[in-house]
Amino acid sequence: MDAAAHPARLVRFGVFEIDLDAAELRKQGRKLKLQEQPFQILLLLLEHRGGLVSRDELKHRLWPHDTFVDFDHSLNTAVMRLREVLGDSPESPRFIETVPKRGYRFIAPIDPIAAPILEGNAQVHVEPLTPANAIGAGTAAATIPRGSTRVFRDEGPEKRLTGIQIISKRTGIIVVFAALILGISAYSIHEVKASRAKSQRITSLVVLPLENVSGDKDQDYFADGMTDELIADLAKIRSLRIISRTTAMAYKDNRKPLSEIARELNVDGVVEGTVLRAGNRVRITAELVQVSTDRQIWAESYESPVGDILTLQGQVASAIVNQISVQLTPDDQQRLASSPRPVNPEAYEDYLKGRYYWNKRSNQGISKAIEYFESATKKDPNYALGYAGLADCYSVVGSTIVGTMPPAEAGLKAKAAAQKALEMDSSLGEAETSLASVRFNYDWDWPAAASGFQRAVELNPSYATAYQRYSLYLIAMGRAQESVEQINLARQLDPLSLSINFSLGWRLYMARHYEQAIQQLRNTLEMDPNFALAHLVLGETLEQQGNYPQAIEQLQKATAISPNSPLMLAGLGHAYGVAKRTAEARVLLNQLMEQSKKQYVAPFYVALVYAGLGENENAIDWLGKAYEDRSNGLVFIKVDPQLDTLRSNPRFKVIQSKMHLSE
């Protein structure tokens, strides 16, 4: 049946419109995101337009008696959310007026849409009421108010008057609105009953980026930091699956319905909220929505000085856990019950800025992050998270991917910071991951690295990076199937992470599953066509298949995106050498040599170009230098396809044996 036969039931006020049939609030035709409880409050206020709706009535209508909700806080939060969407304020209300200690009143004019309203198989019509047609309404013509209307149901040849017959326009209400209000009331009651009837255990959550409502865009880093820490606190609960930060942040400023986000991420519940910072005080307002019913099952506001922010974050996490049916281990219970020590506000500020720059994952971003993390630990020498941040940074800057600091220096700094963090808080899975990464990348202590990664996963089973780094260790050991299993666990927690999606492609390349690697790397490039690492490994994979023209094309893209990167230059130089484009390979080799006079360049990169040129003895000479330098690239000596031409050389076997990575 076409849409004209079933016109929508609409109510307009200001620039807003409610579609009762679609259960949507729109602004100038654009659908707005509004959760169930705020939407129900709006419907109830419209139902009693101009009249008081008491807090008790709102509580009775909207929250089931068997739900453990702090009604006052939940109601305040829901009304606050409604006002935010409408652009309203309690101080100067345009739509919703607060009646102190009693309730709320909808005060704006309402414009119902005078379209026919369906009742069963009949249509209800509105037409001007005149003395000629008033007789059927049982009303004397002399008593008809000017400008009145009548309503009737058209059921065929005969017109029978039903319901309210005469209403004056002077009251500001017409019959259509009366019918719409009946629809509003029925919809509200039906939806509340439906939400009470449905209940489902929540075992997986996404914390959407908390919204900065301070009005200062420069405070976005603070709201993002609050989101990170709430994710980290919840991720420590072993029976909960928490979507990682990178994927959650992809939904910042996203207007998708919660049901669609939950379906994309395969989660049962969604946490969203706001952060307001004013001076030295912070207020967090959060709500937990059960996606299957689109039902707000918890909402709360918390406020504290910045110095007590860790306690405040713990309170939010504990409140969320208390609302869902999860099995807590004794360690979980202890973590939730423990009170973190206060943190120096300035140190916390620097820590959040450090995390903000760390999450950019660029060389410049990591350098800025190190500055802020070091500042945080100087201002508060007992701040475990500050040291954990430093450990993250230093464990990366000496690695093959970044390579801006000599491994010996980076390894020592990363280990010291990670150990310091764990001394202060032995439950930090992030610090345990960083320490295990040092054992793997720089110490080459394989047993200690393995146990460290396993311990990190135990401490924080929702920390995707722990699985990602453990996967890196496993591929280096030649345990390809286990490595792919671990990186896929990381992807389940962080499905939109470029780094993790790239990592899967890289693991497949190292495992010599070239077709699968190409497909995964192309998928990653669809997420970000300018991701240099994906172009690099895609080029290296095509090279292993003998497709030199396409390989070089991809490697040239990588060097164009990251010019002067030793990693990219080495990859392209190796491909030029294998493709017998010797002169071009030597140009890049000389460029690496010149760069090494001005900055740190890992000897491993030079060895790769010599290997591509087929100058095996020179290549092994530089691998020997890489061994002395503890170049991170050597940890993959057992599996790296680019080193295959060297494997039969006795000197190569000696290096591999000294690293305890023999076949």
pLDDT tens string 514-547: 999 999 999 999 999 999 999 999 999 999 999 9
pLDDT band at residue 438 using 50, 70 and 90 as cut-offs: very high
Q: Which domain holds residue 633?
A: 531-663
For 98, 537, 559, 610, the CA distances from 586, given in Å and listed in that order, are: 76, 21, 16, 9
The domain that holds 572 is classified in CATH as 1.25.40.10
Amino acid, res. 61: R
Report the alpha-carbon distance of residue 268 to residue 466 in Å, rounded: 23
At position 133, the amino acid (one-letter code) is N
- The four Cα atoms 48, 52, 54, 57 give a dihedral, to 10 degrees, of -20
Are 211 and 338 in a shared domain? yes
Residue 229 scores a pLDDT above 90: no
Q: Domain boundary residue among 61, 77, 112? A: 112
What secondary structure does DSSP assign to 435-483, as a single string?
A: HHHHIIIII--HHHHHHHHHHHHHH-TT-HHHHHHHHHHHHHTT-HHHH
pLDDT digits (tens, 9 = 90+) for 375-396: 999 999 998 889 989 998 998 8
What integer is the mean pLDDT of 202-229?
85
| Same structural domain, 335 and 350 | no
Tell me which of 24 and 642 has the higher pLDDT. 642
Distance from C-alpha of 139 to C-alpha of 133, rounded to nearest angstrom: 9
**Which residues lie across from 19 on neighbouring strands?**
10, 24
pLDDT per residue over 584-635, tens digit each? 999 999 999 999 999 899 999 999 999 999 999 999 999 999 999 999 899 9
Inside any domain, residue 643:
yes
Residues 152 and 256 in one domain: no
DSSP letter for 341, please: P
Is residue 513 included in any domain, yes or no? Answer: no
- Distance from C-alpha of 568 to C-alpha of 581, rounded to nearest angstrom: 17
Identify the CATH number of the domain in which residue 214 sits. Answer: 3.40.50.10070
What is the average pLDDT value for the chain, to the nearest integer? 81
Distance CA 455, CA 447 (A): 12
CATH assignment at residue 76: 1.10.10.10
455-504 pLDDT, tens digit each:
999 988 989 999 999 999 999 999 999 999 999 999 999 999 888 999 99
Helices 566-578 and 532-544 sit at what angle, rounded to 10 degrees? 20
pLDDT over threshold 60, residue 564: yes
The answer to whether position 76 is within a domain reads yes
The region, left, alpha or beta by phi > 0 then psi within -120 to 50, assigned to residue 422 is alpha
DSSP label at 256?
Answer: -
Q: What percent of the chain has pLDDT over 70?
A: 81
Least trusted range by pLDDT, from 83-97, 124-138, 376-390: 124-138
The pLDDT tens digits for 276-308 are 887 788 888 888 888 877 777 777 788 888 777
The last residue of one of the domains, among 71, 96, 112, is 112
Looking at the structure, do residues 152 and 249 belong to the same domain, yes or no? no
Query: Does one domain contain both 336 and 351?
Result: no
Residues 97 and 120 in one domain: no
Residue 578 has a pLDDT of 98
Q: Do 230 and 254 share a domain, yes or no?
A: yes
Distance from C-alpha of 281 to C-alpha of 189, rounded to nearest angstrom: 40
State the average pLDDT over residues 43-72: 74
652: in domain: yes
Classify residue 13: in a domain, yes or no: yes
Which residues 6+ apart lie within 8 Å of 393 measured at CB?
Answer: 358, 366, 369, 370, 373, 414
Is 445 a member of any domain?
no
In a domain, 46, yes or no: yes
286 close to 316: Cβ distance less than 8 angstroms: yes
Q: Based on the fold, state whether residues 322 and 417 are members of the same structural domain.
A: no
d(CA 553, CA 179): 67
Residue 194 pLDDT greater than 70, yes or no: no
Phi, psi of 250 (to 5 degrees): -65, -15
- Residue predicted with more confidence, 166 or 501: 501
- How many Å apart are CA 245 and CA 226, to the nearest integer? 11
pLDDT of residue 127: 42
Contact 468, 506 (CB under 8 A): no
Whether residue 654 sits in one domain with residue 540: yes
Q: Are strands 30-31 and 52-54 parallel, antiparallel or unpaired?
A: unpaired
Could you tell me the two tokens for 318? 């504990």
Residue 72: name the closest of 97, 55, 93 by CA. 55
CA distances for 140 relative to 76, 145, 161, 162, 495, angstroms: 49, 11, 16, 18, 71
Alpha helices in 279-383 (DSSP H): 309-323, 330-337, 345-358, 363-379
- Written as six digits, the tokens of 316 are 């939010």
What is the domain count for the chain?
5
Distance CA 556, CA 562 (A): 10
pLDDT at 14: 78
Of 377, 404, 429, which residue sits at a domain end? 429
What's the pTM value of the predicted model, to 2 decimals? 0.68
Q: Is 656 found in the same domain as 612?
A: yes
Residue 150 has pLDDT above 50, yes or no: no
Same domain assignment for residues 555 and 642: yes
Percentage of the chain exceeding pLDDT 90? 39
| Residue 482 falls inside a structural domain | no
642, 597: one domain:
yes
Mean pLDDT of 228-255: 85
The beta-carbon contacts of 467-470 under 8 Å, at least 24 apart in sequence, are 467/493, 468/499, 468/500, 468/503, 469/433, 469/436, 469/437, 469/440, 470/436
